[in-house]
Amino acid sequence: MGESLKELVSDMRKAQRSDQVERNKLLEIRIANFTPIFFLPCSYLLILK
């Protein structure tokens, strides 16, 4: 039982991280759609840090 619970928690954490990565990608796309071209290099530098 204990090992199954640890595995479940580990899987849930992995799913949360993957969801966060996906949300970040979607946010970057939305920002890029509404950002003037000359601001894009600056915003990508901030995201990469």
The type of residue at 27 is L
Distances in whole angstroms, Cα of residue 33 to Cα of each of 5, 16, 19, 47: 42, 26, 21, 15
> pLDDT digit string (tens) for 10-43?
999 999 998 998 998 888 888 777 766 666 566 5
> pLDDT digit string (tens) for 3-19?
888 999 999 999 999 89
Total count of domains within the chain: 1
The answer to pTM > 0.85 is no
Supply the range of the domain harboring residue 25: 2-48
